[in-house]
Amino acid sequence: MSTTLALTEALIARPSVTPDDAGCQQLIAERLRPLGFVCETFASGGVTNLWAVRDGSGGDSAPRLIFAGHTDVVPTGPVEAWRSPPFEPTRRDGLLYGRGAADMKTSVAGFVVALEEFVAASPAHAGSIGLLLTSDEEGPATDGTTTVVEALRARGERIDYCIVGEPTSVDRLGDTVKNGRRGSLSGRLVVHGVQGHVAYPHKARNPVHMVAPALAELSATVWDEGNAHFPPTTFQVSNMQAGTGATNVIPGTATLDFNFRFSTESSAAGLEQRVAAILAQHGLGEADYEIRWVRSAEPFLTPAGALSEALTDAIMAETGVRTTLSTTGGTSDARFLATLAGQVVEFGPVNDSIHKIDEHVALDAIEPLKNVYRRVLAALVA
C-alpha cells in the first residue's frame, strides 16, 4: 500500500461530517511538525482550521506555495443504501469507496505526502510551503477558510501560489483545472398583495399576478454576454411560494427565491439595480415588495501564468492528459483565497461521485495526483 493510499484511508475512516473535523487535522499536524512545519489551529464557531507553514533555509518566505482544502464531508444519506459502510474505506473493482474519497480526502492526503516527499528531497528549499485546511467548506463557510484568510491578512501575510484540491477532473484525472469561478448572488423577493376571495377579485390584490410580468422579463433578460473565460450570467428561480392551500383564497403574499451566477462582465451591485428597475417598470413600487440580497461569492479569475503552467505541465508529465482551464461549476473556498493569493487554481480527482451514495475515487489515480502536487512544488519552490 502506498503512503498516500494509507493516509487517504485513515482520513476516510474519520467521520468528519461538517463542521466536525474528527481529528483529521490533528493527524496531519502530527506528521508535519517533525518536518519543520509551524502548525496553528484557528477554532471558530465549532469549526477547526489548520494553518501549517515551513519556511525555506534562505529566510525569505517568497515565493509561498500553499495547498488548501477541507477535511469535512457532507452527510452520508441513508447508510443502508451504501454497498459498504461510508466510513469504512473499501477497495473494490479498482475503486476506493467512502464518504470524502473524492471530495476531498484523497486530495488532502496527496497534499500531505507531496509535502513530505518534497521536504525529504529538498530540505533547504527556497521560499515557503504549507497547507490550509478547514472543517467548514461543506457547511455555511463562515468560520472556515475566510477566518484564516482574514487572520493572515491582519498579520500582513500573503500567498503567492495556491492550489485548492477540489475534485475538478471530469472524465480523467487532469482533464480540467479551475482557474476561476463565477460569482453567486441570491435574492428573496416578497411581494405584498391583499388576501381575498377568488370570487371577489376586485376586493383583493393578487401578488402572483403582480409579480408575473416582472418575472417573465427577469427570466428572459440577457444580463451579459460573458467573455472568453466565463459563460453569460444566468438568472434562475429556485423556489416560489404563495397561497394558503385553499383553492378559493387569493394569497396575500408571494415569495420568490432566485439566484444569479454571474461573470466578471457583471457586478452584484449592478444586478441588484437592474432587478429593481425591472420591478418598477412593471408597476411594483417600493411599498409593494421587499427584497433581501445575499452576496455569497464574487467572481474571480487567475489568468494563465506561472502556477497554471506549472500545474498543466505536471499533469502532462504525470498522466499524459492535456488540461483544459475552466471556470464552470459552483463556488468553492477558492473565492476567499483569491482575495489574498496572487494566483489560485483548483485541481483534484474525478468528480462524478461527489456527494453521492457510494462516493469513490479510482485507486490508480491516487499516486499520480500526489505526484502532480509534488512536481508543482519542485517547479515553483525548489
Q: Which residues are annotated as a binding site?
A: 70, 103, 138, 166, 355
In this structure, how many other beta carbons lie within 10 angstroms of the beta carbon of residue 354?
20
Give me the residues paired with residue 180 across strands. Answer: 301
Please, are residues 86 and 346 in contact by the beta-carbon 8 Å criterion?
no
Residue type, 54: R
Q: ∠ CA 53-58-59 to the nearest 5 degrees?
A: 60
Q: Which residue has the cell 398583495?
A: 193
Q: Give the active site residue among 72, 117, 298, 318.
A: 72
Residue 272 falls in the annotated catalytic set: no
Give, in order, the Cα–Cα distances in Å from 156 to each of 42, 67, 304. 17, 19, 26
Residue type, 20: D
With H, G, I as helix, E, B as strand and everything else as coil, classify residue 344: strand
Give me the residues paired with residue 184 across strands. Answer: 261, 297
Residue 72 falls in the annotated catalytic set: yes
Please, are residues 66 and 127 in contact by the beta-carbon 8 Å criterion?
no
Q: Which residue has the cell 466536525?
A: 20
Please, are residues 101 and 351 in contact by the beta-carbon 8 Å criterion?
no
Dihedral sign for Cα 88, 92, 97, 103, please.
Answer: positive
Q: Give the active site residue among 21, 136, 137, 143.
A: 137
Active site residues per annotation:
72, 137
